[in-house]
Amino acid sequence: MLLSGVQQLPPSIHTLTSAFSPNTKPNFNHFLMPSTYSAFTLIRSLTLSLSNAHHHRRRCFPRSLRLSPLSPTKYRRLAQFSTAAASSGTRVEQLASVPTPSEIESWDFSSGSDSAAFDFDKSCAATDLKHLPTAELEVKDLDELPEQWRRARLAWLCKELPAHKPGTLVRILNAQKKWMRQEDATYIVVHCMRIRESETGFKVYKWMMEQHWYRFDFALATKLADYMGKERKFSKCREIFDDIINQGRVPSESTFHILTVAYLSVPVQGCLEEACNIYNRMIQLGGYQPSLSLHNSLFKALVSKPAVLSKHYLKQAEFIYHNLVTTGLQMHKDIYGGLIWLHSYQDVIDKETITALRKEMLQAGMEEGKEVLLSILRVCAREGNVEEADKVWLKLLQSETNLPAQTFVYKMEVYSKVGEPMKSLEVFTGMPEQLRNRSVAAYNKIIEILCKYEEIQLVQPIMTGFINSGLKPLTPSYAYLLNMYLNLNLHDKLELAFSQCLEKCRPNHTIYNIYLDSLVKAGNLDKAEDVFNQMISDINIGINGRSCNIILSGYLSSGNYIKAEKIYDLMCQKKYDIETTSMEKLEYVLSLSRTTVKKPIRRKLSKDQREILIGLLLGGLQIDSDERRENHIIRFDFNGNSDCHHVLKRHIYGQFHEWLHPSFKPSDGSENIPNRFCTIASSHFGFYADQFWSKGQPTIPRLVHRWLSPRVLAYWYMYGGHKSSAGDILLKMKGSSQEGVANIVRKFKAMSMDCKVKRKGRIFWIGILENNATWFWKLAEPYILEDVKDLLKPGKWALETDSVETLNVNFNSDSDYDESE
């Protein structure tokens, strides 16, 4: 019997679509190990329920879960949960990529916050639950059951089930099918919530849903979903949330609220998008009005990421702002500041909106803080508005706070936009008066400006000072310097600067392309050919369309048509665009040597590509297939917060360039690579789809142990692996094949590596511990990318590199895999 009103889902609601919801829904499996309770605790709770039955024949449990008194420990856990929900930074964010100040900034809510004003840090969405409507659940006590044997069996199940693994738990429940009813299973679920055995309660709930007597219980589903959300088990909470919608019901306001907070409390890739999705559906599907703290918590999470990531959330931030305005809730000044900050990073800046926000902010009596002024200065730098920049500069100087280094960078850029590089140099030389030391961003910006205006005499001593300062990275400044020498045809100086670059830093393919272009223009084709071959053989550098066009133009100009044709064939294979000037000469050359039109080169995966794919698929790469499973698409998805993934993404993009969908090949020569890209639909991926994504679900092939070459292990580790804080190596696999996991364990043992296996749902974690990790590293190191070796090399003195996914994977206990099974 349900005491709370159940909201029916109107037929028209199925036509609603959210303009702000992501198109894809990632699947995360984040589990917390259930605590073990003694039999004494169980018997005590059952005894209390029996003793109180004379006073209360039926128990109604409100949504605040009046199942048992909250101890001080529980209050502390709720406080910890609230703190995590109010801030988007937790332990994992310490591992995230920390770009240089010249590349991105993070919005800082603490600086510029007024203690007398509303403070996001003092408002937590998780503490607002007491204001939400409650849903009551009616559950009978054991003594209300007429049969003594039923009471005894339920008491035994409540004691026994939490102590068993999922497989054994299901077998025990299956043995009770003849007598168990929905009321019995409901009692067990509620009892598990009372004793905080949420994992067991969830498994019992999923089991009862599969029984023929099951009837959907809105109150129970809401109670369990809210409880799982409070425990930060967002994947299970989301599963129940989706079940409620599939039943044609609208989830309660508390479920929307708790699920959003649960997503915000865990900084796993994709969780912010899901939080936005649930928030939008809360308003558009449920018709609810979120609390002020939920608005603020979500908005803060949007602007707490680096700018290169946060700028894509502008529409969502504006949607939150619109809801705050329409509902008449209090507007915090950081809402205005955050919107201005997001607008300042857009590709096309909306000055009218920024002006309107500043005006509205001043009308509300809010002063423009340091972050707002810095955002305005950034806009001025991009548009070359010197007059407005000078006004903002004076306000910043008059403020009591110290000027951030980015202020000088923007001021230099403003003068550069209007053709006054000397004023930019004056700003740079005056930095020590305001700051102790010049920043990396300031060095890179002034070198960029002086190289742009070809001020050779001025830029050389600054570059020398930058090198002597010991600041890193030097690569961007070397790229500006080499490009200036190339434009001025100073090939000797370019050669010297390139040699110096090799000593001081690790050049990328951009610097190698400039050097290659210089060799071709200087007529040194033999050395250019050696450099080009070096780029091909070095996986840390690689080639791209520009590299091929440079060497192709050199061969055509020198009349070496045979080598030109080879480069042409390579470009056709890689699907690189050929420049118009080279194509005109190339058509004539091909007409002389090829009497018939050459058939298009048939794509074929190379041996390296096949091994790389297997390693990435073991790490969680996704494959989508059509209905007939004839053509397949590989979807590459990289974590934008991972240093390792940032390097690996560029490498994989180059390795599979010829297979990529045209929409992911920039036509403007841009080298910005998205975190997500995919291949064209092709039957060549059929083998991998059948082996790793059978029936559209990740699986572990039975014969996977035969494919574990050192290169496969290296890419598996780089894409789906982690290095723990103890220096151990953890490898992640998705799937349900016990046999495949067993074969991998046997293969590792054959390689003289012992390992442990831990299972979390459909995810297996293979722990290669202590000395075994060193042996694994020796095998995989030749194929690990150079730029990530320091991040992944195992060792006792490793930094804190545990991720959210691995925080609750404990390898101190025995392996979950038993060879005897």
What is the distance between the alpha carbons of residues 718 and 614, in angstroms, rounded to a whole number? Answer: 13
Q: What is the mean pLDDT of residues 746-759?
A: 86
Report cis status (omega within 30 of 0) of the bond before 710.
Answer: no
Using CB atoms within 10 Å of the CB of residue 101, give its burial: 0 to 12 exposed, 13 to 18 middle, 19+ buried: middle
pLDDT band at 114 (very low <50, low <70, confident <90, very high): very low
What is the percentage of the chain residues whose pLDDT exceeds 70? 78
What is the distance between the alpha carbons of residues 301 and 161, in angstroms, rounded to a whole number? Answer: 39
Greater confidence (544 vs 97) lies with: 544
pLDDT confidence of residue 443: 95
Domain final position from 548, 581, 602 = 602
Compute the mean pLDDT over every residue in the chain, rounded to the nearest whole number. Answer: 79
Q: Report the CATH number at residue 276.
A: 1.25.40.10
180 lies in a domain? yes
What is the distance between the alpha carbons of residues 388 and 71, in angstroms, rounded to a whole number? Answer: 58
639-655, pLDDT tens digit by residue?
877 888 888 998 898 88
In terms of domains, do 596 and 631 share one? no
551 lies in a domain? yes
pLDDT confidence of residue 453: 94
In terms of domains, do 530 and 641 share one? no
In terms of domains, do 214 and 245 share one? yes
Q: Considering the entire predicted model, what is its pTM?
A: 0.69
In terms of domains, do 145 and 206 share one? yes
Greater confidence (399 vs 603) lies with: 399
Domain final position from 602, 619, 646 = 602
What is the distance between the alpha carbons of residues 750 and 498, in angstroms, rounded to a whole number? Answer: 46
426 lies in a domain? no
Q: What count of other Cβ atoms lies within 10 Å of the Cβ of residue 79?
A: 13
Whether 507 shows a pLDDT value over 90: the answer reads no
Cβ proximity of 92 and 803 under 8 Å: yes
355-409, pLDDT tens digit by residue?
999 999 999 889 888 889 999 999 999 999 999 999 999 988 887 677 888 999 9
For residue 693, CA distances in Å to 294, 411, 620, 698, 758 come to: 38, 53, 10, 5, 21
In terms of domains, do 55 and 189 share one? yes
Which structural domain range is residue 629 located in? 607-806
Whether 602 shows a pLDDT value over 50: the answer reads yes
444-497, pLDDT tens digit by residue?
999 999 999 999 999 999 999 999 999 988 999 999 999 999 999 999 999 999
Whether 155 shows a pLDDT value over 70: the answer reads yes
In terms of domains, do 555 and 491 share one? yes
Q: Which of 366, 378, 389, 386 is nearest to 340 (CA)?
A: 378
DSSP bridge pairs for 721: 731
Q: What is the mean pLDDT of residues 689-701?
A: 86
In terms of domains, do 546 and 614 share one? no
In terms of domains, do 234 and 191 share one? yes
What is the percentage of the chain residues whose pLDDT exceeds 90? 41
729 lies in a domain? yes
386 lies in a domain? no
What is the distance between the alpha carbons of residues 799 and 754, in angstroms, rounded to a whole number? Answer: 24
Q: Go through 7-32 and write b for each residue having 16 or more CB atoms within 10 A of its CB, e for each that does not.
A: eebeeeeeeeeeebbeeeeeebebbe
What is the distance between the alpha carbons of residues 224 and 218, in angstroms, rounded to a whole number? Answer: 10
Q: Report the CATH number at residue 684.
A: 3.10.28.10
What is the distance between the alpha carbons of residues 536 and 654, in angstroms, rounded to a whole number? Answer: 11
107 lies in a domain? no
DSSP states along 508-543: -HHHHHHHHHHHHHTT-HHHHHHHHHHHHH-TTT--
Cβ proximity of 759 and 693 under 8 Å: no
Q: What is the mean pLDDT of residues 306-321?
A: 90
Q: Which of 434, 436, 452, 432 is nearest to 444 (CA)?
A: 452
Residue type, 607: K
DSSP states along 450-502: HHHTT-HHHHHHHHHHHHHHT-S--HHHHHHHHHHHHHTT-HHHHHHHHHHHH
Alpha carbon 403 to chain centroid, angstroms: 32
201 lies in a domain? yes
- The tokens for 476 are 């961007």
Fill in the DSSP letter of residue 69: P
Q: Which of 195, 253, 248 is nearest to 222 (CA)?
A: 253
Q: Give how many domains the chain has, as a whole number.
A: 3
In terms of domains, do 589 and 652 share one? no
pLDDT confidence of residue 129: 57
pLDDT confidence of residue 815: 54
pLDDT band at 26 (very low <50, low <70, confident <90, very high): very low
561 lies in a domain? yes
pLDDT confidence of residue 269: 73
For residue 764, give the 3-state DSSP assignment. Answer: strand
* E-only strand ranges, 32-145: 58-61, 137-140
